[in-house]
Structure 1
């Protein structure tokens, strides 16, 4: 379980989150994070997803970024606030050459902090530590599919399609892959 001040380092995929308030701090009402998105974050293959039981909000604190909400990209700059209702398809990216800083909340918290901690574990397994290089390959996809299937109440992929995530997660479990 995450704790206030904990850093969730996902640098290999261009992100670093700091926990401002964990679920325990808000009695489960929210998970509050400070994000740093590195230049080019999520430009190639952003995870388009929904949160079936939570509202996600964003406040851009510094920089320019883009959000995909419903079916279109929206530019956002410092001071902009966005809210994504439960079940709405979305993702984000940093198309600039500057770090973007964002205040983010998930309401209620559910197990999102556990999801982010487990993403870090998967990244540790699949990142070439000598080069700090992340590669999206079949092994990575299998690990991520197991992860996504473990958090279906928190997050469901739309692209790649959920049916593919379910199937690949099943295959990974048959072969004993765990993170």
Structure 2
């Protein structure tokens, strides 16, 4: 369980997170993370947060966002707010490390998702696109369906596929949380 002050690092992308406010400190209303993202060609898949607003305040460097298929770049002092259920992804588009505050309203269990993916990256269990195998992914995505979903295909298709592979994943010893 992530706690205020915890640090995690994604070995695949080099992204670092320091948890400033967690579910426990805010009664579930907010997650606030200080983030550092190096320049990297790695990008996350386009996704949505079906029940959460996601907000970024850039402190140094620059971040580019693709929000609802429209690109924009944010610089120090800029705040980018992504409403719930809006497809998006972001990346460091600058020449130096980006430093920013990322927030989620409400917190839900998104912190455990970050912890799981960063731990999988640490142990070399993600592919070049940053995804675990389908069995592990199915368990993770079903456990975090309120926090994150891929933008495509539809959630009905994703959930059907995940429900088919999740029981096999359990039999193989995979879990929805990985530390």
Q: TM-score range by the shorter chain?
A: 0.7 to 0.9
Query: 5 Å matches for 1:71-90?
Result: 71-90=69-88
**Which residue matches 1:95?**
93
For residues 56-78 of structure 1, the C-alpha deviation after alignment (integer angstroms, 9 at most, x for no partner) is 11100100120111111111111
Structure 1 unaligned regions, length at least 5 = 128-133
Map of 1:131 onto structure 2: none
Partner deviation per Cα, 1:81-110 (whole Å, 9 max, x = no partner): 011111111110112331101101100101
Any gaps of 5 or more consecutive residues in structure 2?
A: none
CA RMSD of aligned residues (A): 2.5
Q: Distance in 2 between matches of 1:108 and 1:126?
A: 30
| Pairing of 1:55-134 with structure 2 (within 5 A) | 55-127=53-125
Distance 1:34 1:138 in 2: 21
Q: Give the aligned partner of residue 141 of structure 2.
A: 148
Cα distance change on mapping 1:118 and 1:138 into 2, 3 Å: closer
> CA–CA distance in 2 between the matches of 1:164 and 1:66?
27
Give the 3 Å change call, closer, same or farther, for CA 44–124 of structure 1 in structure 2.
Answer: closer
Q: Which residue in the other structure is 1:7 paired with?
A: 7
Runs of 4+ in structure 1 deviating by more than 6 angstroms, as ranges, are none
TM-score by length of 2: 0.83
The corresponding residue for 1:174 is 168
CA distance in 1, matches of 2:122, 2:11: 10
- Note closer, same or farther for the CA distance 1:155–1:33 as it changes in structure 2 (3 Å cut): same
1:31 positional shift: 0.3
SS in 2 for 1:115: helix
The structure carrying a bigger strand percent of its residues is 1
In 2: Cα distance, 1:139 partner to 1:96 partner: 24
